[in-house]
Amino acid sequence: MAKHSTRAAVLSMVLIYVYSTMSQAAEELYTNQPSVTPELALAGEYSVGVTTLKAINPQQLNASDFKSIADRPLTLEVWYPASVAPNAIPSTYKNLTRSHKEFELQATAYRDAAPLDNIAMKTSQLTVKESKQFPLIVLSHGYTGYRTIMFYLGEHLASHGYIVVGIDHTDSTNADIDFSAAPGAGFLSTLRNRARDQQFVLDFFTKHDSEIANITNTDKAAIIAYSMGGYGAINTVGGCYAFTAPALQAVGVPAEHSETLLPVFNSCNGGRESTDPRWKSMLAFSPWGGELNIHSTESLNSIKVPSLYVAGSLDDIVGFENGVKSLFNKAGSPETMLMVYQNARHNIAAHPAPQVAYQDDLDIGHHYEPSWDIETLNRINKHMSLAFLNCYVKELDSFCSYLPVREDIAQTKLSDGKLSQTWPGFKERWGTGVSFYRK
């Protein structure tokens, strides 16, 4: 009997250890699908490092009262081409769902790996022009979100020779907001600070003294932004806000303060007098503001940077016809494009849901798309983002041809029984349900 009890106790301890180890293991969200992966969604030649930085934007208007001045702290996740030791182990990303459940995701990047220096770059096959420095890409999440919500783009673009910086927008993250009790607690701060945070990151890396900053080309920069991040990005590249008192009241400003606070919110260019010429392009997933006409039509008409809008045709958060499509139609740059996921709603940019998110509608609502597999969306996003950035930021003409000229991705059967050409870089018979429009 004693031996039996001992064996049972040992077995119980082993099972507890196994299950606890399994529960602590980082989740791998992605499968290996090279046979159906678009060409430019495949990883690039560089190993990728990732590091977390703390930054302070000094003397900013305090969003708690819009009167006092305070330093604004930001946490940044930075992906970069790196020199990685042969025995190095990829990192993980820890964060919280909207209901504050913890999760940990497997990365392909290596935590705090040495940035690829100029000596290492000289041994690569790149030309002198390409090997000088890596352009800066800012990743800006929605409301609410977190700096690694598009980590798949951070890792992917860094592997192709970019420095990518994901921002934790203070007052606007899952960790900052109790979405059940006070979902709008950080929204006014988001309205005020989103574009300013994006511009600050560009300025920060211009002045920052570090090994990563030393290989960052801040004269060639772009923004990739999602939802409220997109609202900010449009402003950062020139789309001025045009709030009215009723519009401010609709988003939570008390009626008695709505008139006096208009100057606080109606800014341009991320708080600058003019658009920073270092911004070379903007990619906005499901940007907010079109339905409420938040950005002035005149300023939208004046945007000059190449812009790619991405939307779901059934977006019920920011709207499609009167939302994202309206922003696209009003944009002035002749190099403005719109990619539409047919039958998708708003959740087209985030990584797939961690398992814990399926326990709560509030959490899964941040990730789930009823008609689309999120991994498929992520692969298309990687392909199109790289094509767009290589074309307009690195100015590599060969990549411009990956941006479709035919509206519908679906192939049709021709009279000879063969299929029409697929979009550049996509597998035969792979694409369906995506449309692409140009000015």
Determine the straight-line distance between the first and last CA of the chain, rounded to whole angstroms.
81
Which residues have C-beta within 8 Å of that of residue 71, sequence separation ≥ 6? Answer: 56, 57, 58, 59, 60
Q: Where are the alpha helices (DSSP H) in 160-290?
A: 187-207, 211-214, 228-236, 245-250, 255-258, 262-265
The upper half-sphere exposure of residue 433, i.e. CA atoms within 13 Å in the direction of its Cβ, equals 16
7 near 1, Cβ under 8 Å? Answer: no
Residue 180, amino acid: S
pLDDT of 403: 98
Distances (CA, A) of 175 to 101, 144, 150, 183, 189: 10, 9, 17, 12, 15
- Residue pair 350/367 in contact by the 8 Å Cβ criterion: yes
Helices 228-236 and 187-207 cross at an angle (nearest 10°) of: 50
Across 134-148, b (16+ Cβ under 10 Å) vs e yields bbbbbbbbbbbbbbb
Query: Taken in order 53, 56, 62, 64, is the CA torsion positive or negative?
Result: positive
Which residues in the chain land under pLDDT 50?
A: 1, 3-6, 8-23, 119, 126-131
Instruction: Return the structure tokens found at 121.
Output: 């770059």
Number of residues in the chain = 439
Q: 436, 438, 422: which is closest to 38 by C-alpha?
A: 422
Domains and CATH numbers, the chain: 30-438 (3.40.50.1820)
Neighbours of 91 (CB within 10 A): 20
d(CA 420, CA 76): 45
Residue 200, Ramachandran bin (φ over 0: left; ψ between -120 and 50: alpha; else beta): alpha
DSSP per position, 149-191:
TTHHHHHHHHHTT-EEEEEE-TTSBTTT--TTT-TTTTHHHHH
The phi and psi torsions of 407 (rounded to 5 degrees) equal -65, -45
* Consecutive H or E run containing 376: helix 374-392
Asked if the bond preceding 144 is cis, omega within 30° of 0, the reply is: yes
pLDDT of residue 24: 59
Considering just the CA atoms, what is the radius of gyration of the chain in Å?
23
In order of 3, 13, 18, 274, the CA distances from 8 in angstroms are 9, 9, 15, 72
